[in-house]
Amino acid sequence: MTFPPAIRIGSWLERKADTDGRFPYGSAAALVFAAVVLTCSAVADARSHRRTPRPEAEATHHVRPRPESIHWPLAIPGVQYNPVSWSDLRGWADDDQLKAFKTFKASCAPVLARKPKKPDDTSDKFLGDGLREPCLAARGAKVHDAASARAFFEEQFAPVTISRLGEDAGFVTGYYEPIVEGSRTRTDVYTVPVYRRPSNLFVRGYSQATPSLPNKGDVFRKIGRRKLVPYYDRAQIEDGAIAGRGLEIVWLKSQTDLLFIQIQGSARIKLADGSMVRINYDSHNGFPYTPVGRVLIERNIIPKEQMSMQRIREYMEQNPGAADELRRTNRSYIFFHEVSLKADDEAIGAQGVPLTAGRSIAVDKALHVYGTPFFIDADLPIESDTSNTPFRRLMIAQDTGSAIVGPARADLYFGAGAEAGRIAGRIKNAARFTILLPKSLDPVARGRTVPLPDARPAEEKPKPKKRRGRRHAENS
């Protein structure tokens, strides 16, 4: 059975354009230079092997390859990448790639179900249909332990470090699925509604029957028969703009609980009888997401180095009046739908498959294809606020979020519950991203198919001019 995916609206702390992490793999300029040199050397090497050593060949014209035999290396605007070897990846040999293989195989079902693109279709992301071959191979692969899983990835993919142009590291945060107490009916304790999508909410190009609407873009409400205006913002909805319409799925204790559920994109609501209601993202009100953590930092209320989801929650609980104003600086509001998942089932990501704690990541869906493997290299505060736990792990892109923007930006999924939330709330770190490109997109192999320019033609010496008088004399 296929469930509508949960789509996260963003991270609790949006990254600004700075990079604090440094890695022993060289600077950003070195990465660009290495990629260019590596590709060019591959081209030159391939061309040199195709040259005929016969002397008479020097005088012949170069026969250029047919256009269909040329496969240009990837060109991604604003992105730098560098092909590396597997031995360059710290921790690659120590990771348990069997867990990653199982997660990757789950992603392959929607990858293979998707209709293949036509060769001349350039509208898709840069990876295109590149995952189809590895996914077909995964179906019949005999993978039973970490070693055989590692061999599968090494056979099917080529490792390539990736980052924004001019940066030598990416950035990771964490997310989780909250478990909170709630009620099916309003009581003196449970007074905050969790709303489903209103019937007067419109997104151009989508119908009310669409299971889940985009988490970005304009959203409208209809006035009269034809007039469309922006939908209500958070303050208006909290003040009762859509109350009394029977849209309530469950009721919660506080607006803070609801805000964190909206940030994460899904939740498990525990009722008094012990049963669990599962809710996932459905739609939003059209306003861009504003991270409340960033607001607290800019107001000098919480220092940046101390910022975490737990600190945000503590501030809101200790300052309920200020919390109302702070919360409303984020005008974005999320609507949910109820999903038929068991109490212990993992949340469904934007790809439509269950997430795997410690192996699933949310990425920028405008750039990346769901199912893409990434090897993440970072030192993270997993054990405590001050720890630097080595995190060298193969992760699979299965989710997205509106604040997840850029080629080397990800949210790491840590599971459900309070402990997962504490870990996720501490993560805001630099990380090295290595994307695993299918062998069909290997930039080094593609570079070997690119022809060098034709040799510069020899410069002809101008013929000496003959004197007019002598020529007339010879003719006479």
Domain ranges of the chain: 1-182+345-454
Output the average pLDDT for the chain: 83
| Averaged pLDDT for residues 6-19 | 51
Residues 36, 75 contacting (CB under 8 angstroms): no
CA 326 to chain centre: 28
Q: What is the pLDDT of residue 60?
A: 45
How many residues comprise the chain? 476
Residues 128, 117 contacting (CB under 8 angstroms): yes
Q: pLDDT grade, residue 77 (50/70/90)?
A: confident
Q: What is the pLDDT of residue 322?
A: 96
What is the tens place of the pLDDT at every residue in 36-68?
A: 444 444 444 444 444 444 444 444 445 555 555
**What is 42-68 written as a DSSP string?**
HHHHHHHHHS---GGGGGSPP-PPPGG
Q: Two tokens at 399?
A: 């989710």
* Fold observed for domain 1-182+345-454: Barwin-like endoglucanases (2.40.40)
| Averaged pLDDT for residues 190-208 | 91
Beta strands in 325-427 (DSSP E): 334-339, 360-362, 373-380, 389-399, 409-416
Q: What is d(CA 13, CA 346) in angstroms, rounded to the nearest whole number?
A: 24
Q: Alpha helices of 55-166 — where are they, by DSSP H?
A: 97-113, 132-140, 146-156
Residue 277 neighbours by CB under 8 Å, 6+ apart: 182, 184, 249, 250, 268, 269, 271, 338
Cα–Cα distances in Å, from 261 out to 129, 179, 186, 248, 333? 34, 9, 18, 15, 11
Q: What is the pLDDT of residue 31?
A: 41
Q: Two tokens at 284?
A: 């939003």
What is the tens place of the pLDDT at every residue in 353-390?
A: 999 999 999 999 989 999 999 999 999 999 988 899 99
Q: What is d(CA 30, CA 36) in angstroms, rounded to the nearest whole number?
A: 10
pTM metric for this prediction: 0.77
Q: What is the pLDDT of residue 74?
A: 67
Q: pLDDT grade, residue 17 (50/70/90)?
A: very low
For residues 232 and 444, the model is more confident at 232
Q: What is the pLDDT of residue 118?
A: 60
